[in-house]
């Protein structure tokens, strides 16, 4: 009975987050944050209501990260941004608390109901395919969204995310799951979903997402045993690329051609390198000696060098509020100890992955690709909550698999959780 009631609550909350939340077609950050808060509160209520104890070693670095973020916010000179976040992002300390709740909630769900995770991923991929379809149609000149395109007002695909870079990140996370589904069974649905996700990833013209895609594809080639199906996957990607390449006067090819020049400018120290990322990184590195221990407070990067940013971007421009490098951003705003705790957390997630298991391999590739793209982009509430929930599922799937190996064949995490819950209620 406990397991059944838990299933009725946990699965809908996860599906709402993964499949419905990214479909909110609103280009404003506050409604997104409100939806995130509502979903996280529901997840927290489920955690306390069920009284099912779950624990994982990754909670330790996550706890340290939150502790350092809390300390940096307490001592910040900019308390509004540190606690609530800057107006364009709302990624202050309280947002990180909501994200941590989602991670713990997703971990517990996967641990208790490991057999349901494949179904949840399939639902998410259908939602991702629909979002990709909206984005691809935008690139083809048909915008079905009521509130315009993205904040850049360009031909790039942005879909319901309303930002081409963030859509690139979202599709990058979905790609390994779509690729593994195609390799497992190359039917019409898996082919269509993969083609849409990969094709729209190209039409975002997001170079950072393209860079993140590279290690994922290479690792997939190395780790997947069925090389014929991998070749079929690469052939499909090539066909999609060739079909989209000529559109908009070869925009995709032109964007690819900027890699060399932008890299050269960045290495030469030109502030305009990497679409002005070089300026952000230079100012962030200069600020590191001042933020060794506690930083300036979450989401306060703009205050690192406002004169420089105002000169380049214009006073109050959104582009200047983030470092466009999640590792530099954390180090500057929350301190180097917070960065070390965050890296510890991510690597604890990657540990003990059985790459012979398609689902675990997909999760592993997703984290590697997300971390790679993190050198050039930022964490935003349109996409980052999904990442935290997905790696929570990742942890739960791994622990569930190892529990089945270590425990008798008639013992499952679900049964253990139900017994513990019943014992607590009796006491």
Tell me the angle at which helices 2-15 and 93-112 cross, rounded to the nearest 10 degrees: 130
Q: How far apart are CA 339 and CA 33, in angstroms?
A: 24
How many domains in the chain? 1
Count CA atoms closer than 13 A to 298's CA, side-chain side.
26
Q: How far apart are CA 191 and CA 239, in angstroms?
A: 12
185-202: per-residue pLDDT in tens?
999 999 999 999 999 999
- Residue 165: closest CA among 214, 126, 201, 215: 201
DSSP letters, 362-420, are HHHHHHHHHHHHTTTS---TTTHHHHHHHHHHHHHHHHHHHHHHHS-TT--HHHHHHHH
* Burial (0-12, 13-18, 19+ Cβ within 10 Å), 375: middle
Q: What is the DSSP letter of 140?
A: T
* Residue 104 confidence class, pLDDT cut points 50, 70, 90: very high
Q: How far apart are CA 303 and CA 310, in angstroms?
A: 11
Cβ-count burial 264-289 (b if 16+ within 10 Å, e if not):
ebbeeeebebbbbbbbbbbbbeebee
Give the residue with greater pLDDT, 306 vs 411.
306
Is residue 318 predicted with pLDDT exceeding 60? no
Is residue 413 predicted with pLDDT exceeding 50? no
* Residue 259 confidence class, pLDDT cut points 50, 70, 90: confident
Q: Which stretches within 75-163 are classed as H helix?
A: 79-84, 93-112, 117-139
Q: How far apart are CA 8 and CA 28, in angstroms?
A: 31
268-298: per-residue pLDDT in tens?
888 888 888 899 999 999 999 888 889 999 9
With beta carbons less than 8 A apart as the criterion, state whether 209 and 173 touch. no
Q: Following CA atoms 101, 102, 108, 109 in sequence, which dihedral angle do they give, to the nearest 10 degrees?
A: 150
- Residue 106: closest CA among 21, 33, 43: 43
CA geometry: angle 81, 279, 212, nearest 5 deg = 85
Which of 16-20, 86-90, 163-167, 265-269 shows the lowest per-residue confidence on average (mean pLDDT)?
265-269
Q: How far apart are CA 167 and CA 22, in angstroms?
A: 10
* Residue 5 confidence class, pLDDT cut points 50, 70, 90: low
* Residue 425, pLDDT score: 38
* Residue 427, pLDDT score: 35
With beta carbons less than 8 A apart as the criterion, state whether 290 and 75 touch. no
CA 54 to chain centre: 23
- Residue 220: closest CA among 244, 194, 201: 194
Q: How far apart are CA 393 and CA 114, in angstroms?
A: 9
Is residue 129 predicted with pLDDT exceeding 80? yes
Q: What is the mean pLDDT of residues 101-125?
A: 94
Q: How far apart are CA 190 and CA 192, in angstroms?
A: 6
Q: What is the mean pLDDT of residues 378-387?
A: 95
- Residue 392: closest CA among 369, 375, 367, 412: 367
Tell me the backbone φ, ψ of residue 15, rounded to 5 degrees: -65, -40
CA distances from 14 to 26, 59, 213, 372, 381 (A): 21, 20, 26, 26, 16
Structural domain span for residue 312? 2-426
* Residue 56 confidence class, pLDDT cut points 50, 70, 90: confident
Task: Name residues whose C-beta falls within 8 Å of residue 292's C-beta, 6 or more positions apart in sequence.
Answer: 335, 336
* Residue 293, pLDDT score: 87
């Amino acid at each position: 009975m406990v397991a059944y009631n838990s299933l009725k609550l946990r699965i809908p909350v996860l599906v709402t987050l993964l499949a419905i939340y990214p479909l909110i077609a609103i280009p404003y950050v506050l409604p997104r944050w409100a939806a995130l808060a509502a979903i996280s509160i529901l997840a927290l209520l489920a955690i306390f209501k069920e009284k099912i104890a779950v624990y994982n070693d990754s909670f330790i670095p996550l706890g340290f990260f939150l502790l350092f973020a809390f300390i940096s916010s307490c001592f910040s000179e900019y308390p509004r941004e540190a606690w609530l976040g800057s107006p364009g992002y709302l990624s202050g300390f309280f947002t990180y608390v909501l994200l941590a709740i989602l991670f713990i909630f997703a971990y517990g769900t996967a641990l208790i109901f490991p057999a349901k995770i494949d179904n949840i991923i399939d639902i998410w991929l259908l939602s991702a395919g629909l979002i990709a379809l909206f984005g691809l149609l935008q690139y083809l000149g048909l915008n079905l969204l009521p509130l315009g395109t993205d904040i850049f007002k360009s031909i790039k695909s942005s879909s319901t995310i309303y930002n081409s870079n963030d859509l690139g990140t979202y599709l990058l996370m979905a790609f390994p799951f779509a690729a593994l589904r195609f390799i497992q069974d190359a039917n019409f649905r898996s082919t269509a979903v993969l083609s849409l996700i990969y094709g729209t990833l190209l039409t975002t013209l997001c170079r950072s997402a393209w860079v993140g895609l590279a290690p994922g594809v290479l690792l997939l080639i190395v780790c997947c045993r069925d090389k014929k199906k991998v070749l079929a996957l690469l052939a499909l990607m090539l066909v999609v690329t060739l079909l989209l390449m000529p559109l908009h006067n070869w925009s995709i090819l032109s964007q690819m051609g900027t890699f060399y020049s932008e890299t050269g400018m960045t290495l030469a120290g030109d502030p305009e390198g990497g679409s002005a990322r070089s300026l952000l990184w230079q100012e962030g590195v200069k600020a590191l000696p001042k933020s060794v221990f506690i930083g300036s407070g979450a989401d306060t990067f703009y205050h690192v060098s406002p004169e420089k940013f105002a000169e380049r971007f214009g006073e109050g421009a959104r582009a200047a509020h983030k470092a466009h490098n999640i590792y530099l951003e954390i180090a500057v705003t929350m301190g180097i100890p917070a960065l070390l705790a965050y890296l510890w957390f991510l690597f604890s997630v990657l540990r003990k992955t059985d790459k012979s298991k398609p689902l675990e391999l997909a999760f592993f590739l997703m984290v590697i690709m997300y971390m790679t793209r993190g050198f050039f982009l930022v964490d935003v509430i349109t996409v980052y909550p999904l990442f935290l929930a997905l790696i929570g599922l990742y942890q739960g799937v791994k622990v569930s698999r190892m529990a089945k190996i270590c425990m008798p064949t008639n013992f499952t995490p679900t049964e253990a959780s139900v017994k513990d819950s019943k014992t607590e209620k009796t006491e």
